[in-house]
Amino acid sequence: MQDPRTQYSMDNKRSNPEQPDPGLDTILKPQADHGENSYQGCNRLAGRKALITGGDSGIGRAVAIAFAREGADVIINYLPDEEKDGKETLKQLEGCDGKSWAIVGDISQQDFCQDLIKQSVDKMGSIDILVNNAGKQIFVEELEELSSEQFCQTYATNVFAMFWLTKAAVPHMPPGASIINSTSIQSYQPSAGLLDYASTKGAITSFTKSLAKMLINKGIRVNGVAPGPIWTPLQQSGGQPAEKLDHFGEHVPMGRPGQPAELAPTYVYLASQESSYVTAEIMGVTGGAHLP
């Protein structure tokens, strides 16, 4: 048992001007906790087949580690520029009961989304857990500075890819399967400067609830997780302005940003049979900045 306010200490020197877009966990300062040394599985996902987008870093890496340690076969997807992080994630999955693979490519392209599902089914035999987690977030302070190109690319990565992947995956998903979409507190409490990102998260929230009602007739559950301020490379690679990084997450009641490791158990719960009566729900992990 630990005091949640002080469970993870963060110093006030978080700015790293050399972070690229997409961001990398390997150069994130300070380092995030993905549960590498703490998550202990108990066979809750034995025999399951999971595909996780954005599985190289941040929340995706934490979920991949947890799923693998719970006994699932795991495929992670990420961009070519994230190869270094992806290899580190695969290293963390070694020694688990299930198998693990990486499939590299850009989910903002419809053709690749369809190929990603095909390759995943070829490797695992089926897909019964789909985690739509990859996301694009770039802070732009003024409306006139937000380009159409960025707006469209954010939607392609965050929303269109979710649709393309889900549509391609559902024919391969048996009754009892679970789809988990990463939305955000930004869906309910949008920040100035995140117009494109926040609006995609609102779309994801509605997409999740509508899709759940559509797919329950196939025995497939659909839920979402809405993180609050979580310490990931997304923040240091343009997701937040540099001047805000030193105090990122301090505004929530818990007084600190969350760590990816603190999200993983929620995804495990929604993937497992323990949540058999849960669908069309959005579960907040927000440090007290609660959902409506």
Nearest CA to 70 among 50, 90, 91? 50
- Report the alpha-carbon distance of residue 194 to residue 22 in Å, rounded: 17
DSSP state for residue 98 in the 8-state scheme: S
Active site residue 197: yes
- Report the alpha-carbon distance of residue 291 to residue 185 in Å, rounded: 7
Instruction: Given the residues 197, 267, 269, 277, select the one marked as catalytic.
Output: 197
Rounded to 5°, angle at Cα 87 from 81 and 88: 110
Inter-residue contact 270 to 289 (CB < 8 Å): no
Alpha helices in 125-241 (DSSP H): 148-155, 161-169, 195-215, 233-234
The pair of structure tokens assigned to 278 is 């849960």
Q: Show which residues are catalytic.
A: 197
